[in-house]
Amino acid sequence: MKEKFVTINRNNIRYLEDGQSDRNLILLHGLGGYAERWSNLMPHLNEKYHIFAPDLIGYGQSDKPSVDYTVDVFIKFVFDFIETLGIKKTFMIGTSLGGQIVAECAATQSPIIEKIVLVSPAGIMRKSTPTLDAYTMAALYPNKETVKNAYQMMVGPGKQVSEISIERFVNNMSRPNAKMVFLSTLLGLKNAPDIFERLSKINIPTLVIWGKEDNLIPFEYSHQFVSSIKDSKLVAMEGCGHSPYVEDPEKLADTISKFLSKGV
- pLDDT single digits (tens) 60-86: 999 999 999 999 999 999 999 999 999
Q: In what order do the strands lie in the sheet with 11-18?
A: 2-8, 11-18, 50-54, 24-28, 90-95, 113-119, 206-211, 232-237
* CB contact set of 46 (below 8 Å; sequence gap of 6+): 18, 19
Q: Does residue 263 register a pLDDT over 70?
A: no
Handedness of CA 108, 111, 113, 114 (dihedral sign): positive
pLDDT at position 169 is 97
Count CB-CB contacts under 10 A for residue 67: 12
Given a contact cutoff of 8 angstroms between Cβ atoms, the answer to whether 164 and 144 are in contact is no
pLDDT at position 109 is 97
* Confidence tier at 6 by pLDDT (50, 70, 90): very high
Q: Do β-strands 11-18 and 2-8 pair in parallel, antiparallel, or remain unpaired?
A: antiparallel
Given a contact cutoff of 8 angstroms between Cβ atoms, the answer to whether 234 and 226 are in contact is yes
Q: Does residue 98 register a pLDDT over 90?
A: yes
173 closest CA partner among 253, 48, 59, 255: 59
Please tell me the distance from the alpha carbon of residue 44 to that of residue 252, in angstroms, as a whole number. 9
Q: Does residue 264 register a pLDDT over 60?
A: no
Break the chain into its structural domains and give their ranges.
2-124+193-261
Q: Does domain 2-124+193-261 have CATH number 1.10.3720.10?
A: no
- Could you please report the per-residue DSSP string of 209-225? EEETT-SSS-GGGHHHH
pLDDT at position 194 is 85
Averaged pLDDT, 4-29? 97
Q: Does residue 201 register a pLDDT over 80?
A: yes
Beta bridge partners of 12: 7
pLDDT at position 156 is 84
Please tell me the distance from the alpha carbon of residue 189 to that of residue 136, in angstroms, as a whole number. 14
